[in-house]
Structure 1
Amino acid sequence: MIEKTISGQDALPNISDAERIFAELLTGLAAAQPGFPLAQLKTFVDQEFAQIKHVLHGISLLGQCPDSINAALICRGEKMSIAIMAGVLEARGHNVTVIDPVEKLLAVGHYLESTVDIAESTRRIAASRIPADHMVLMAGFTAGNEKGELVVLGRNGSDYSAAVLAACLRADCCEIWTDVDGVYTCDPRQVPDARLLKSMSYQEAMELSYFGAKVLHPRTITPIAQFQIPCLIKNTGNPQAPGTLIGASRDEDELPVKGISNLNNMAMFSVSGPGMKGMVGMAARVFAAMSRARISVVLITQSSSEYSISFCVPQSDCVRAERAMQEEFYLELKKAYWSRWR
C-alpha cells in the first residue's frame, strides 16, 4: 500500500479489503465466543484503520514515506491481532498481560531492521512483575529504540520476537507455529521425497537457515541458542505432525548429513588482477562498503594466489552493491590495478 500511495495510485481498495477481513473476523469470534468484547474491539480496529488512512493521505501529499512512518504502518496488523487475541483469551476466563514491545524491547539499528538488546529488554520485562498465573501476549515484529520510537525487526521479525521473548522470560521452550510441518532434509517443493527432521542442533539449524532454508531466519536462532532454550517448529494447519525440535545437541541416531539447502536469486561479484597481490584488507573493505550500503554479504572467497576475490549478495541488491564497490575502490579502478571486474 505504501508503494502504491507514493506512486500516486489509490490504496483505498486494499484498505477496504483489510477492513472487511477484520470485520468478518470480529463478527465470527463474537458468534463463537460468549463474552467476546466485540464493540470495544470494533472501535479499536476502526480507529487503527482511520489512522492508517490518515497517514497514507500524508504520504500521498509528500510523495515519499520516511522509514519511521513506514515502520509504524507495517506493524499495524500485529497490533490489532494481539488486541483481538487478548479479547478471546479474556473471554475464556484467562488472566492476560499484554507486553508493549515498544516500551519493553530495546532495539538498536535502523527503523526497518533493528536488533534487540536481550539484557536490557530482560530487565525491563522483569520490572513489570508479571503475575505467574497470567498468559503473556506481545505483538511480534516490533520494538522500540533508545528514543522510544517504534522500530521493526526486519525479515521474519515475528519469529525473532518470539525467540527474544522466550529468552527474556527464560522460557522452558519456544514454539514457532508456521505453515509447514517442520524442517526438512531439503525443500519438499523441489524434492518430493524430502524427509521431515525429528531434531537438529542450533548450529545445524543456523547453517541450513543461513543458506536458504526458509523455516527459520538465522537471527531467530541466536537468542534461543544463547540461553539453551529448545525450539519446536510446528504446523498451524497440521498440529498433529510431530514437528522439528531444535536444541543444544543433535540426535546421534540420525545420519551425519542433516540436510541440503540452496540460495536462489544471488549475484556474484568477482574482481581480479595482478594489482591485488598483497593488497592488505581487501575483504575488510568489501564488507565495509556493503555495510554502509546496508547490504548483506552471503559468501566471500579469495583465490590462493590472492589475484582475485569473489562475493555474493542478493540479486535485488546488485545495483546498489556495484555502486558501493565503485565508490570504495574508485582509485584502484582508475589506476587499472584490476584487470577484470564483473
Structure 2
Amino acid sequence: MNVLKFGGSSVANAATIEKVIHIIENQSSTTPLYVVVSAMGGITDLLLQAGEEASNNNEAYKQTLATIEQRHFDAIKELIPITSQSAIISKVKTELNALESLCEGVFLLSELSEKTASVISSFGEMLSSYIISEAAKVKGLDIVLKDSRDLIVKTVNSKVSIDYKETNQRIKEFASVTKHKVCLFPGFVARTQDGEPTTLGRGGSDFTAAILAAAIDANELQIWTDVSGMYTANPKLVKQAKPVAHISYHEAMELSHFGAKVIYPPTIHPVLDKNIPIVIKNTFEPEVKGTLITREVSDREKPVTGISHIDNISIISLEGSGMVGIPGFSKRLFETLFLNNINVILITQASSEHSICLAIEASEASKAKTVLDTTFEFEIAKKRLDPVKIENKAAIVALVGDNMYSHQGLSGKMFSTLGKNNVNIRAIAQGASEKNISVVIEEKDIKKALNTLHERFFEVKTKQLNLFITGVGNVGSKLLEQLDQQKKYLKDKLRLKIRVVGMSNSRKMIFDEGGIALDQWEKELANGEKADAKAFFEKAKEMNLRNSIFVDNTANPDIAKIYKYYLAESMAVVTCNKIACADEYNNYEELKNLSRKFNASFLYETNVGAGLPIIDTLNNLIASGDNIHKIQAVLSGSLNFVFNNYKEGVTFHDIVKQAQQEGYTEPDPKIDLSGVDVARKILILARESGKIMELEDIENDSFLPADSLETNNVEDFFTSLTGNESHFKSILGEANAKDSRLKYVAQYEDGTAKVGLQFIPADHPFYNLEGSDNIVLFYTDRYPKQPLIVKGAGAGADVTASGIFADIIRIGKK
C-alpha cells in the first residue's frame, strides 16, 4: 500500500483536482492507497485572515468568508454533474455556516484564542477532502472519506508531539475494517488527548501522511506538490537550481528544517524508523521521477547536496563575565526558552564562554528578550551580564550534505565566496559530523548568498557577472555590441555569463534583473525612468546581486564622485572616465583603499591608452620589483590623429572636427587639445608608479592661443580655431622647416611631470607614430637604455570599449 499526499497547489481548483483524481485512479488500479489532501491553495491563509479580521471587529471578515465560499462552490460546479450538486452544496454550506458562526463569536468577543484559530483553520482540509471524495466517486473510484481527527491524537500543550501509541492503534483498527481501494483523509487536522479538535501546524498535511504511512507500514510515501522534487536551492530565488534525484533522510531533514518548502520537517521522523521511502513528485508533471528519499545514498558525486535557508530570523546575544565558568548557566538559558515554548534554531558560543548567540523566529524575539531579562535580572543588575541584545532582519543559510565531512575546505570555500560578495556573516554553526554548515546573515542578502553559493558548489564553473552600465554613447554602445557578439565565446571558453541588469544615459535609466536584451536596448532605454546617478546606485544596491560591476563610459565628474559608494558595497568599478583617478590624491587613494578593504576590483586600464595594456604593464613591472625611472609617451590618440593629418591645404578646424566625428576626442575637444587629458594620463601613470602628485604639479605647455582656452562651450571653441588658423599654420611651418613631426608628448622623470607639443626628429621612436596610435616608453632598472615599449591604437570607441571589456573579463576570471 502507498500513501499519497497532495498539497494546496495540487488541489487549488477544479482543474488541478482533476489531475489529482487522475493520478489516484492510475495508482489505485495496482495497489490500495491512503490519500491525504491539504486545503485548496490559499484557503488556510484566508481562514486565518477571516479570524484575525473578526477579532479586530473588522466586518471585512464577511467578505473573506464569501470568497472562501465562492472558491469551493466554483470547484463543486465544475467537478460534479449538475444533477448531483444539490446535496454536496448543502453539506458544504452547512460547514460554512458553522465557520461563519465561529467568526461571529470571535467578532463579538474581539478575541481569537489559539484553540479557536485551530478550529477555524481546519475547515479548509475538511471541505477540500469532502469535495475531492465526491468528485472521485463521480469518476467511479472505490473511495471512502475518513476524518483524520478520529485517528491522530496530539499530546496536550504541544505543537507537533503525537501520542503514537493511541494514534497507531486507532489507524490499525481503521485499516483492519476498511475494504475500499482508496481511503481519503483531510490533512493537518487532529484531536487532543482530551478529544478537542486541533491541528498539526502549517505544513501538517505532510505529517498526517507520514503518520499514516508509518502506522500501516506503507511501501512508499509520496508527497505531491508543484515542483519536481527537492532542489539544490529554492528555484524561486535561484534560477539555476536543479532537482536532486536521490537524498538521504538526514539530508532531507536538514533541508526541510532549513526552509525547503516541499516537505514539512516532522514528516520524516515517523517513516525513518520504518525505512519507508519518500518520493517528492510534481502533480503537474507526474511523469518526472522527482526526488527519492531513503536511508542511504551511494551514487553521490558532489559533497554538497543542497543549499537552504530560513528567513524572518532574530539573533539573541548574551554577553558578560558572569557567564564564564558558571555551571548551569546554559541550563537556565535554555530552560527559560523551553518553558516559554520558544524554539531555538541555531546556537553558537565562544570558547571563552563570554558570549552566546541564538537564532529564533523573529515573531518570538520580543517575548524571548522579556523572559531572559527577567531570568537573568540579578546578573544584569550587578553588571555581570549585559541586557539581552536582539538583532532583527536576519536569515540562516545552510550547506547540507552527507558527504561534506570527507571533503576538506568546504567551510573556507563557503565563507570566502560570501565574503567576496560583501555578505556579512554574523554567526556560524557546524556540527562535528559536518553534514550542515550554517551561517547567519542579513535578510537582505539571502538571494545574493544563495545564488553565489549555488554558483560555487553546483554550477559548471560558470560565473555570472551583473553589469550596471552608465553611458551608452560611442563607447558604451560599442561595448554593448561586443558583449552581445561574444556571449557564446565567453560562456563556452571562459565560463562567464555576463548580463547587463542596469543601464543609463543622461536622460533615462532602466533595470532588469533577468538581463536587458542587448538587441533592443535602445528601445527599452527610451521608455525608461528619469536618469539620476544617485538613484542608479541606490537601485543597484537594492538589487543586491552577486558579482556586480558598475561600468562608467562617461566623462562625467559627478558620476566619478560616486565610485566610492559602489566600492563600499563590494561592487566592482570599471571606468574609462579619467576624472576619478586624476582627482585630488586623497580621493584617488581612498578609492584604492576601498577597493582593497571591500575586495571590490577598481579597474581603469582605459584611462590611459584606451585598449592598450599600459597601466597593467606598469603595475606588473612594479609588482615584480622593478623601479620606474622615466616614462615618455604620446598618450593622446586624438592629438596624434590631428597632427598626423594636419598639413598644407587643410584647416586645423576641419581636422579637429573630423577627429571629433570619428570618436577620437572627448565630447568637448578642448579637453584633448588643451593638454588636460594628457596631463591626467601622465598623472595617473606617475601615481601608479608610486608618486604622490596632483594635477597642478604637472607642467602644461599648451599650444592653444589664450582665447581658445578661455572659451566656455564647444561651438565657441571651434570658432576660435578658425580665427587662429595662422597660429596653427606657423607651428606646422616650423615643424616642416626642422624636418620634424608634431607630437604632443608626456614625460615623467625624477618625480616631475610635464606635457606639451614637441618637434620630433626623424630618428626618434615617436616620429613614425601613425594615425591615432599611442606609444609609451618605460625606462626602468631592467630597461635602462632600451626602454620597454607599449604601442598601438590609443583612441576610438571600438578600442576603448574593448579595453573596458577586457577589464570586465579580468574581474570575471578572479
Same fold (TM over 0.5): yes
Match of 1:278 among 314, 318, 325: 325
**Which residue of 2 is the match for residue 124 of structure 1?**
170
Give the match's secondary structure for 2:161.
strand
**Which residue of 1 is the match for residue 284 of structure 2?**
237
Higher relative contact order (CA 8 A, sep 6+): 1
Deviation at 1:246, TM superposition (A): 0.8
The question of 1:185 aligning with 2:235 is answered: no
Deviation at 1:132, TM superposition (A): 4.4
Q: Distance in 1 between matches of 2:101 and 2:261?
A: 35
Give the match's secondary structure for 1:46.
helix
2:129 and 2:185 in contact (8 A); partners too? yes
Deviation at 1:157, TM superposition (A): 0.8
Deviation at 1:133, TM superposition (A): 4.1
Deviations 1:10-34 (A, max 9, x none): 1111111111111111111124xx9
Give the match's secondary structure for 1:318.
helix
Q: Distance in 2 between matches of 1:15 and 1:193?
A: 40
Letter in 2 for 1:212: G
Match of 1:9 among 58, 73, 79: 58
Deviation at 1:124, TM superposition (A): 0.9
Q: Return the TM-score normalized by structure 2.
A: 0.40
Q: Distance in 2 between matches of 1:194 and 1:158?
A: 26
**1:249-260 equivalence runs, <5 A:** 249-260=296-307
Number of matched residues?
A: 338
- Structure 1 spans left out of the alignment, 5+ residues: none
Based on CA coordinates, which of the two structures has the bigger radius of gyration?
Answer: 2
1:268 and 1:311 in contact (8 A); partners too? yes
**Which residue of 1 is the match for residue 140 of structure 2?**
93
Letter in 1 for 2:255: L
Change beyond 3 A, Cα 1:333–1:122: same
Q: Distance in 2 between matches of 1:99 and 1:117?
A: 19
Q: Distance in 2 between matches of 1:238 and 1:264?
A: 29
**Which residue of 2 is the match for residue 209 of structure 1?**
256
1:176 and 1:232 in contact (8 A); partners too? yes
Match of 1:27 among 77, 83, 101: 77
1:116 and 1:164 in contact (8 A); partners too? no
Q: Distance in 1 between matches of 2:269 and 2:190?
A: 17
Deviations 1:147-173 (A, max 9, x none): 111110012111111111111121111
**Which residue of 2 is the match for residue 64 of structure 1?**
111
Q: Distance in 2 between matches of 1:268 and 1:68?
A: 29
Deviation at 1:341, TM superposition (A): 3.7
1:114 and 1:151 in contact (8 A); partners too? no
- Structure 2 spans left out of the alignment, 5+ residues: 1-49, 390-814
Deviation at 1:102, TM superposition (A): 1.6
Deviations 1:112-136 (A, max 9, x none): x342223321111212223344311
Letter in 1 for 2:363: S
Letter in 2 for 1:53: E
Q: Distance in 2 between matches of 1:59 and 1:226?
A: 42
**1:318-329 equivalence runs, <5 A:** 318-329=365-376
Q: Distance in 1 between matches of 2:204 and 2:57?
A: 29
2:248 and 2:296 in contact (8 A); partners too? yes
1:181 and 1:241 in contact (8 A); partners too? yes
Deviation at 1:56, TM superposition (A): 0.9
1:179 and 1:235 in contact (8 A); partners too? yes
Deviation at 1:37, TM superposition (A): 4.0
Give the match's secondary structure for 2:234.
coil
**Which residue of 2 is the match for residue 81 of structure 1?**
128
Letter in 1 for 2:260: A
Q: Distance in 2 between matches of 1:316 and 1:66?
A: 17
Change beyond 3 A, Cα 1:281–1:237: farther
**Which residue of 2 is the match for residue 287 of structure 1?**
334
**1:165-180 equivalence runs, <5 A:** 165-180=212-227
Q: Distance in 1 between matches of 2:376 and 2:155?
A: 29
Change beyond 3 A, Cα 1:80–1:326: same
Match of 1:246 among 293, 306, 309: 293
Letter in 2 for 1:126: K
Q: Distance in 1 between matches of 2:157 and 2:207?
A: 16
Letter in 1 for 2:77: T
Q: Return the TM-score normalized by structure 1.
A: 0.93
Deviation at 1:205, TM superposition (A): 0.6
2:345 and 2:359 in contact (8 A); partners too? yes
Q: Distance in 2 between matches of 1:88 and 1:327?
A: 56
Deviation at 1:91, TM superposition (A): 2.6
Q: Which moved more, 1:243-252 or 1:42-51?
A: 243-252
**1:214-229 equivalence runs, <5 A:** 214-229=261-276
Give the match's secondary structure for 1:232.
strand
2:372 and 2:388 in contact (8 A); partners too? no
Give the match's secondary structure for 1:22.
helix
Q: Distance in 2 between matches of 1:319 and 1:340?
A: 13
Letter in 2 for 1:243: G
Deviations 1:216-264 (A, max 9, x none): 2221111121221111111222223221111111142432221111222
Give the match's secondary structure for 1:264.
strand
The question of 1:135 aligning with 2:185 is answered: no
Give the match's secondary structure for 2:177.
coil
Q: Distance in 2 between matches of 1:287 and 1:132?
A: 49
Match of 2:352 among 301, 305, 313: 305
**Which residue of 2 is the match for residue 261 of structure 1?**
308
Deviations 1:287-339 (A, max 9, x none): 22222222210011211111111111011221111112112212221222114
Q: Which moved more, 1:283-292 or 1:166-175?
A: 283-292
Give the match's secondary structure for 1:261.
strand
Q: Distance in 2 between matches of 1:287 and 1:7?
A: 34
**Which residue of 1 is the match for residue 241 of structure 2?**
194
CA RMSD of aligned residues (A): 1.8
